[in-house]
Structure 1
């Protein structure tokens, strides 16, 4: 970790607006190969990373119910994702909209099973055991500043889900078995 950011525990003054306007990209579905490959680390200050970050935020914002979106879900094999659990009924800790590059879990505890869905697996949901207390480190696009984010509950689950996407894993890879997979309910 960069000594200047060591001990940093939040997102500071970063805002998604700093990325500029993004394009809305199509979301790919399983079994698209990019979803099962380990994503490449990125240079967080490179122009293409900043553009990708803006595109992820734009695509997430127009997708109803979406609380996170990773680069592999838009066909890009890179370790970049956006999260925003603002307004979600299950969210207690909320850091707003943010994008992290090359994120990794530093600490994980208080494991709980919870139901997950995914835009890239549109017809199914599943019960997945995840840490409900989490510390993650990652770089902010544009500045490259390394941040340490401490969270819990639903936001922690969303972060782990997106980090998994960047590593080529779907929530289906984390369920205990076929008994923990469900047909998604469609509400009209």
Structure 2
């Protein structure tokens, strides 16, 4: 009778976790456009320290949409996650204290706009919805840092692999519930300016 010898060899594989590289990109242009009497006024000159967002699908003087532009470095070619960070103040409404501000982030294909010239009457068409966030009212009157995860597929479509390294985003309030918000610009504070984290 032959003895069968089973030799079990254990092979240990060392897996070293690799932290994904994070690329932080500050906004290069930031402003908002306003309808009504301000429809032909560039708010980037009149109110350069704020991005006001409210009732974006309206047509009166309270209808406002924010715009952001980012220059994506050419070395960033492969990534799996993109997040937008904003410093936001949601103005308090005592009679509806639990109401949230609904912020939508849309892609903008047209990057040929300037923060010092863009006006409501020349507003550019928004594209795909990249992300949404419901933000509570700011009872301490402080601007809080808000993170919005963006849809990676829709984001990548904003970049032309051959030449276009500019990404434009629109900040809109399409679900109007009488709550409005103010977002910091780079002119107000570089520490509170909008930025992307790409990883």
Is TM (by shorter chain) over 0.5?
Answer: no
Asked which structure has the greater CA Rg, the reply is: 2
- With the length of structure 1 as denominator, give the TM-score of the two structures: 0.29
- With the length of structure 2 as denominator, give the TM-score of the two structures: 0.28
Greater fraction of residues in helix: 1
